[in-house]
Amino acid sequence: MKVMDHTEYPKSLKSRTDAELLFISKDAKEAYKALPDGRNASYYCDVVCYVSMERKLRQRVKAIRARGGK
């Protein structure tokens, strides 16, 4: 069974490109859909959640910078 490190995994996403994040999310969604009752289902849900959070954060930062903020 895969175990999510809820401290380190989100940090590891900071160095990923947007394309990598998209791929990771799609892959985790497919894995979950293939075996939604599997041993690793919650792990893949966590992956999707953390990737979504990172992508949303990047969108917000980009929007703030576009308005001249820091």
Task: Please spell the DSSP secondary structure of the chain, one letter per residue.
Answer: -----TTHHHHHHTTS-HHHHHHHHHHHHHHHHH-TTSTTHHHHHHHHHHHHHHHHHHHHHHHHHHTT--
Residue 70 has pLDDT above 80, yes or no: no
Q: What is the pLDDT of residues 12-65, one digit of tens each?
A: 999 999 999 999 999 999 999 999 999 999 999 999 999 999 999 999 999 999
Provide the whole-model pTM. Answer: 0.92
